[in-house]
């Protein structure tokens, strides 16, 4: 079978993901031999989102946990974004670890995730779709580095600022992790990305969120029920029995941020640093999946039987 090539350089090897955004393939750069990821979106779909994503990656280039863009263009009725090949998503790793992360792993993730969001914000961008699927671990020597991906819904803060008093806007991003202001039709800002991240932490500890699986006659009715439940649950109620009070403090803090309030990222990271030290954890990059994989590898090794 003849190889499928993108831009006469990138060979398509196998599909590794798909979603509303399109398809993702693992490929090979035939010039360098490097493995790459190729994200394909239909050219008839929202062309603006593909262009925005490419431009955002380029504006963020050089930051820790930001994938490089190798090539972007049109190929066979698709927009193609060629990037570094990364490791599994946090959603994949949560499934691998039995749908729960330990407190240590959540804190290790939190430290990097807050830093990634802070960097994105410092470059003048809002992510606007923070969720487990949009965080990936790196590969090879970057295997312990958390990456942030999928900037198709991102927006420059200066443009968001022009509509900061708007009302009745459609919900953007993923409903499960959306901020309360997002549910209420308000323009998203820095605090909304961080609030969504707070729900991700709770999701990792509980394995699901209280508003998952709600039944409703229509999609609008379901969205309204999710919003009502979110608004009725304080940070303490969300974390009770699953996470220490520092996470409740984090959620309540991010919810209080007004559109123009610049988050105190250092305060949020210190909050979790103190908890990490108080629990006696070590910054050894040993996540739950690291231990599980090690245990599986050990179990596959046959014990050595001494000769007699």
Decide if 6 is inside a domain: no
DSSP state of 260: T
Regarding whether 143 and 48 lie in a shared domain, the answer is: no
Measured distance CA(230)–CA(282) in Å, rounded: 34
Confidence of residue 1 (pLDDT cuts 50, 70, 90): low
Annotated binding site for ATP: 39
Tell me which long-range contacts 41-45 makes (C-beta under 8 A, separation of at least 24): 41/78, 41/79, 41/81, 42/77, 42/78, 42/79, 43/74, 43/77, 43/78, 43/79, 44/77
Average pLDDT of the chain, as a whole number: 93
- Catalytic one of 129, 150, 192, 193: 129
Regarding whether 282 and 256 lie in a shared domain, the answer is: yes
Question: Among residues 68, 84, 100, which one ends one of the domains?
Answer: 84
Regarding whether 178 and 63 lie in a shared domain, the answer is: no
Decide if 235 is inside a domain: yes
Regarding whether 230 and 95 lie in a shared domain, the answer is: yes
**Per residue in 170-209, pLDDT tens?**
999 999 999 999 999 999 999 999 999 999 999 999 999 9
Decide if 293 is inside a domain: no
Question: Which DSSP helix (H) or strand (E) runs through 156?
Answer: strand 155-156
Say if CB 82 and CB 110 are below 8 A apart: no
Question: Which DSSP helix (H) or strand (E) runs through 81?
Answer: strand 78-84
Listed range (73-77, 154-158, 223-227, 244-248) with the worst mean pLDDT: 73-77
The confidence score (pLDDT) of residue 308 equals 43
Decide if 20 is inside a domain: yes
CATH number where 188 lies: 1.10.510.10
Q: What is the mean pLDDT of residues 233-249?
A: 98
**Per residue in 5-18, pLDDT tens?**
999 999 999 999 88
**Per residue in 62-73, pLDDT tens?**
999 999 999 999
Regarding whether 208 and 116 lie in a shared domain, the answer is: yes
Regarding whether 170 and 27 lie in a shared domain, the answer is: no
**Among this protein's residues, is 84 annotated catalytic?**
no
Listed range (18-32, 108-122, 256-270) with the worst mean pLDDT: 18-32
CATH number where 70 lies: 3.30.200.20
Read off the pTM: 0.93
**Residue 276 domain boundaries:** 90-288
Domain count, the chain: 2
């Amino acid at each position: 079978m003849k190889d499928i090539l993108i831009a006469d350089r990138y060979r398509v090897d196998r599909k590794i993901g798909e979603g509303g955004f399109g398809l993702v393939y693992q490929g090979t750069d035939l010039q360098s031999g490097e493995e790459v990821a190729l994200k394909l979106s239909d050219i008839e779909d929202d062309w603006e989102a593909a262009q925005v994503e490419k431009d955002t990656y380029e504006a963020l280039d050089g930051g820790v946990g930001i994938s490089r863009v190798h090539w972007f263009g049109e190929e066979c009725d698709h927009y193609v974004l060629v990037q570094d090949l990364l490791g599994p998503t946090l959603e994949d790793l949560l499934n691998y670890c039995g749908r729960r992360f330990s407190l240590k792993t959540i804190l290790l993730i939190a430290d990097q995730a807050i830093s990634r969001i802070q960097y994105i914000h410092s470059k003048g961008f809002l992510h606007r779709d923070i969720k487990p699927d949009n965080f990936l671990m790196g590969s090879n020597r970057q295997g312990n580095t958390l990456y942030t991906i999928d900037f198709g819904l991102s927006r420059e803060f200066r443009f968001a600022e022009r509509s900061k008093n708007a009302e009745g806007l459609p919900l953007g991003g993923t409903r499960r992790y959306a901020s309360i202001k997002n549910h209420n039709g308000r323009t998203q800002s820095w605090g909304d990305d961080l609030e969504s991240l707070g729900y991700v932490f709770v999701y990792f500890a509980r394995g699901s969120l209280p508003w998952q699986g709600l039944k409703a006659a229509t999609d609008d009715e379901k969205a309204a029920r999710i919003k009502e439940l979110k608004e009725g649950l304080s940070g303490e109620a969300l974390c009770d029995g699953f996470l220490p009070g520092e996470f409740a403090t984090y959620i309540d803090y991010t919810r209080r941020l007004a559109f123009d309030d610049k988050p105190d990222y250092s305060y949020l990271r210190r909050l979790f640093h103190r908890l990490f030290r108080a629990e006696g954890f070590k910054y050894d990059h040993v996540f739950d999946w690291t231990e599980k994989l090690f245990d599986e590898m050990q179990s596959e090794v046959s014990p050595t039987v001494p000769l007699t």
